[in-house]
Amino acid sequence: MPIGVLWLHLHMPGIRSLKEKRRALRPLLVRLQKEFNVSVAEMDYMEHYEQALVACAHVSNDAKHTHRTLQKVLHWVETHWGEGYVADESIEII
């Protein structure tokens, strides 16, 4: 059973407080969960205003399907999320 993890290092210029950061990230995390059926969590940079490391996990019985789903998540974040940008990303299939 393949498990895929998408790591997104997000940069949010202009965010000046943790409250603003939560306001920018919360809708993104909820949207990704609902639209792509992935598990999503902020993993690092919790005390840094302008950065976040977000992990998206997907499990299926087909590694290609898992990889495609995570690529769609990445593409959606890069094209639709207006609060910042993806500074770095990686996809791992376990």
DSSP letters, 5-21, are EEEEEEE-TT--SHHHH
Give the single-character DSSP code of 62: -
CA nearest 55: which of 76, 68, 78, 73? 73
Tokens of 42: 């902020």
Residue 46 confidence (pLDDT): 87
Residue 1 confidence (pLDDT): 82
Query: Is the pTM above the cut of 0.85?
Result: yes
Residue 61 confidence (pLDDT): 94
Bridge partners (DSSP) listed for residue 55: 7, 41
CA nearest 76: which of 18, 27, 23? 27
Residue 40 confidence (pLDDT): 97
Architecture of 3-93 per CATH? 2-Layer Sandwich (3.30)
- Low-confidence stretches of the chain (pLDDT < 70) are none
State the burial class of residue 46 (Cβ atoms within 10 Å of its Cβ: 0-12, 13-18, 19+). exposed
